[in-house]
Chain A
């Protein structure tokens, strides 16, 4: 008797399995489940574009409708990855155009996207609906025009913090009059002014428009007319909030805001003048997400705004909020889940607001029971504060503390911040993401290795004393997936000793550490399933094994060494050197 589940039935069951993690498990059960799963997966996520080839992905998931790709390592955000390293979208788009022409959605993060890529998308995918580019670069507004003109069913076009060659605002005018399907438009990172009348017409013929994020060039006056055309918006990113309006215009704008009953998310607010803050009061009670990280609004104007946001779940703000403002958040925003506080001074240290200290975060941890994600830039911190925060909020899932002075100790006791981070990892048992900073010894990492069992991503800078530190992490953190380290004094021993661990992780980044060339060669030889990339813009003429490398990026891959490496990236396959010097490994 055939006990196998008929594939049609299995297919039907699988149609209810949404999460890719679950689908990955499903595909491991047996061959027929693998086959059924792969033929029915619609949403494919590849979190390292070099871990697998585009052809392999297209072959495995022929019914793919949505593809998400991530390219450069996270530290590329902070200019630690030289230009030209890689992360090109073109091979993927080319492969999908050929093998999966029914692709509808493309979400790319930290990748190099050219105008040719955008033109290819426009030409190849007949039912293309969603393009979301986050922290991407390499294209111009001409590429956007190509998308606008050709994708007749476009639903989402979002450019989040991309570096775009801005050739002008014409691209927006290329959306045809027949396009009425727009749900989300985000061009906040562009500089040029778009034609207001075209934007207004686009908005008025898009009844499903739910999210609109304007760029800075859109004036306050223009905002008014746009809001009147789209009162149904759920997410709004304003343009510049600083034009001088006359009384009538102000009251019209106020009226427009009060009509927006669905608004949940507000951002933009560039250059917001204090006298315009009251315009926002009417939407505050409905807001769940508020991004003031580009708004140079200071206390006490902030206070009035925050006291009204009783349903806020996500708050991004600059340190202009000060401890006082965070106290108000603690008492008014009881639903808060995510807090990010960015430094207001461009240089970080000298211009940073000193009226914001660790106390602000402590207040929020006390007052907001649902707080689970924190990003906090602060000049200095104390162990006691972290202990209190950990005690208050054992439910933290993401704790990223950036003490902006490298090696800054606890400013009250002058001790390292070891004990503080110990409290965090000990108490917050579900912590998945952690960034550490300040003065830290190996002890801190022993604690993290011992307690951070659910930790998936860890970022470290200017810390530790020796290889022990790395060893603690690699041997202790069972769930570790991404580790990124800069400017720490170790490398070889711990790396080579824990080489096997690296295959269980997505990637490891180390820059300005003490990793020697010899260790890289050894690792490359020992671990064929890893790509060990040495990224050195100034290599020495001859490379003795003991010479340190500038950066090393190690990631597991099924694709083997990549073919698009620039000259400053070395892998053993590229220039294998004759013999590997014997390296003493304990």
Chain B
């Protein structure tokens, strides 16, 4: 398998990261012309001193409160609402309001686009009305300016996952937003893909899991949602890991050409020499096949093609396994 393939199979995760970064870089312009328009146009509704404030602030290239030092970010910022930047540290995963003005704007929410708490906290006074600009002025201009994804997440991180050591997700998520119960999210994540395929509409997105094989030099990834049953999965895995098993067959004496034979491969993969196992949510390694397909893709975190002898001590799924086996065989 070539490195390109590896990249491809990692595509959906990596590319969205790249997308965010790519898009961010694209949009990371100062748009000085827009900036000056802040001062001139669309401010009719505002009091004079606010206009003054805006034009003054519009030329001030900082992120922080007036007087505070902005850490090395002079070149990209939100010109339209420097006062609004006061808010920024408290909305770690949110784009600025201005970004959302443009209906064509990229929908991804940048993660971690804020400064450290310690940066802002020392200087933060009690907030009063005067600190804020009127948002109407901000919204009137339509520039899309994105923040660079912050690399370090400060200690006082809010509104992100409870585990502070986790890096920003590739497809950045705000914790608990949209407000859909986690029960619902988890349940929908395992919805059968049939309906998605019928109408070609996107389902809940691909579900990539790593697949490793004993003796193989590197991992592959498969999208569980692109299959509808165990049969399809096992066929795909067979194809993927052909080269390795060929190698194995070679050592046992058969010629290369003879071995390129599906039945032989099936034997190799499906019970004689290899078994397919998966790691579930609890970190336990289980034999694949005991649950219905829908439940399986909900709990499967990793796949592993193990040698049959290695898999002997492996836990089978809890009771009622026999019936579930029947069920999954019926469905597959």
Q: Is B202 an interface residue (CB 8 A)?
A: yes
Is A350 in contact with B176, judged by CB distance below 8 angstroms?
A: no
How far does the Cβ of B18 sit from chain A's closest Cβ, in whole Å? 15
Q: Which residues of B contact A537 (CB under 8 A)?
A: 162, 164
How far does the Cβ of B231 sit from chain A's closest Cβ, in whole Å? 14
Is B164 in contact with A271, judged by CB distance below 8 angstroms?
A: no
A294 to B178, CA, bound (A): 17
Is B178 in contact with A402, judged by CB distance below 8 angstroms?
A: yes
Q: Which residues of B contact A170 (CB under 8 A)?
A: 319-320
Is A78 in contact with B179, judged by CB distance below 8 angstroms?
A: yes
Q: Is B29 an interface residue (CB 8 A)?
A: no
Is A217 in contact with B295, judged by CB distance below 8 angstroms?
A: yes
Known A342-B180, A402-B179, A407-B94; judge A466-B128 contact (CB<8 A): yes
Q: Is A408 an interface residue (CB 8 A)?
A: yes
Q: Which residues of A contact B173 (CB under 8 A)?
A: 347
Q: Which residues of A contact B202 (CB under 8 A)?
A: 345, 351
A487 to B177, CA, bound (A): 11
Chain B, interface SS category: loop
Is B294 in contact with A75, judged by CB distance below 8 angstroms?
A: no
How far does the Cβ of B161 sit from chain A's closest Cβ, in whole Å? 8
A273 to B228, CA, bound (A): 14
A141 to B155, CA, bound (A): 39
Q: Is A514 an interface residue (CB 8 A)?
A: yes
B97, B156, B184: the one contacting A342 at CB < 8 Å is B184
Is B327 in contact with A219, judged by CB distance below 8 angstroms?
A: yes
A411 to B105, CA, bound (A): 12
Q: Which residues of A contact B132 (CB under 8 A)?
A: 465-466, 489
Q: Which residues of A contact B131 (CB under 8 A)?
A: 466
A128 to B56, CA, bound (A): 71
Q: Which residues of B contact A78 (CB under 8 A)?
A: 175-177, 179-182
Q: Is A192 an interface residue (CB 8 A)?
A: yes
How far does the Cβ of B104 sit from chain A's closest Cβ, in whole Å? 11
A192 to B296, CA, bound (A): 11
Q: Which residues of A contact B243 (CB under 8 A)?
A: none
Interface residues in B124-146 (C-beta closer than 8 Å to A): 124, 126-129, 131-132, 134-136, 139-140, 142
Q: Is B100 an interface residue (CB 8 A)?
A: yes
Q: Is A547 an interface residue (CB 8 A)?
A: yes
Q: Is A79 an interface residue (CB 8 A)?
A: yes
Residue of B nearest to A585 (CB): B126
Q: Is A415 an interface residue (CB 8 A)?
A: yes
Q: Which residues of A contact B320 (CB under 8 A)?
A: 168-170, 192-193, 195
Known A296-B191, A345-B202; judge A163-B127 contact (CB<8 A): no
A191 to B107, CA, bound (A): 34
How far does the Cβ of A150 sit from chain B's closest Cβ, in whole Å? 21
Binary flags per residue of A503-514, CB closer than 8 Å to B gives 1, else 0: 000000001111
- What residues of chain B have their CB less than 8 Å away from a CB belonging to chain A? 86-87, 90-92, 94-97, 100-101, 103, 107-109, 117, 121-122, 124, 126-129, 131-132, 134-136, 139-140, 142, 155-159, 162, 164, 171, 173-185, 187-189, 191-192, 194-196, 198-199, 201-205, 292, 294-295, 318-320, 323-324, 327, 330-331
Subset of 6 A-B contacts with CB under 8 Å:
A346-B185, A408-B100, A467-B129, A512-B90, A546-B124, A547-B117
Known: A271-B194, A461-B177. 6 other contacts (CB 8 A): A79-B162, A297-B195, A439-B97, A487-B94, A514-B90, A550-B156
